[in-house]
Amino acid sequence: MNQEFIITIFSENNIGLLNRITINFTRRKMNIESLTVSQSAISGISKFIIVVNSTKEKVVRLVGQLEKIVDVLKAFYHTNDEMIYQEIALYKVSTEYLFESDEVEKIIRDYGARILEITREYIVVEKTGHKEETQELFERLNQFGVPQFVRSGRIAITRDPIERLSEFLKERDALLSQMD
């Protein structure tokens, strides 16, 4: 049965790595729902956060293949319940609606969003939350017309109090030291 999984990959930041990672999804006919790459808490290590809908068996095999890529240090998979995650969305709405009535301002407040910029022509609204929340706000604001809308990929951290990558790296360094 398909469910949503969050795959986290820690790697060195090398040219062509994203291509080598995504080809593994293509070979398995897995669609990437969301992809975000950033620095991790460890200097020099990048963190990929990839969201997929698949079976656990396919995700387990995929993570095993991803770990075989030379530049990948470690890959993990989690369910949504095991992670704390958010997305950010930006909406552009004509300023005229803000001044015609208080409806747009009320919607923005009700959704816990904030106005980032106001010009004579438009306002830019920011909302942080889960995909469903940012989509719902889009639908509410779109009754006034939203000429531009963008949503980021997911960012996520584990609920697990131990950073498994740090533990993995310590163990790896200890083994390498023993080999010297």
Digit-coded pLDDT (tens) for 12-40: 888 899 999 999 999 999 999 999 999 98
Residues 76 and 93 in one domain: no
**Residue 169 lies inside a defined structural domain of this protein:** no
CA distance 53 to 6: 9
Instruction: Work out the mean pLDDT of the chain and round it to a whole number.
Output: 91
**Residue 174 lies inside a defined structural domain of this protein:** no
Residues 26 and 61 in one domain: yes
Helices (H), the chain: 17-27, 56-66, 95-100, 103-110, 131-141, 164-179
Per-residue confidence (pLDDT) for residue 164, from 0 to 100:
67
Residues 134 and 72 in one domain: no
Q: Which of 162, 155, 133 lies closest to 51 in space, CA to CA? A: 155
Per-residue confidence (pLDDT) for residue 179, from 0 to 100:
73
Q: Is residue 37 helix, strand or coil? A: strand
Q: Which two tokens stand for residue 57?
A: 């068996």
Q: What angle do CA 64, 159, 163 make, to 5 degrees?
A: 60
CA distance 95 to 132: 25
Q: Which two tokens stand for residue 14?
A: 């090398």
Give pLDDT tens digits for 87-138: 999 999 999 888 888 899 999 999 999 999 999 999 999 999 999 999 999 9
Residues 78 and 22 in one domain: yes
CA distance 107 to 117: 16
Domain span holding position 111: 85-151
Q: Is residue 130 helix, strand or coil? A: coil
User: What are the distances in angstroms from CA 30 to CA 2, 55, 112, 135?
Assistant: 11, 10, 34, 23
**Residue 170 lies inside a defined structural domain of this protein:** no
Q: Tell me how far apart the 2 most distant CA atoms of the chain are, in Å.
A: 73
pTM for the full predicted model: 0.84
> Would strands 122-129 and 83-94 be described as parallel, antiparallel, or unpaired?
antiparallel
**Residue 178 lies inside a defined structural domain of this protein:** no
Domain with residue 51: its CATH number is: 3.30.70.260
**Residue 91 lies inside a defined structural domain of this protein:** yes
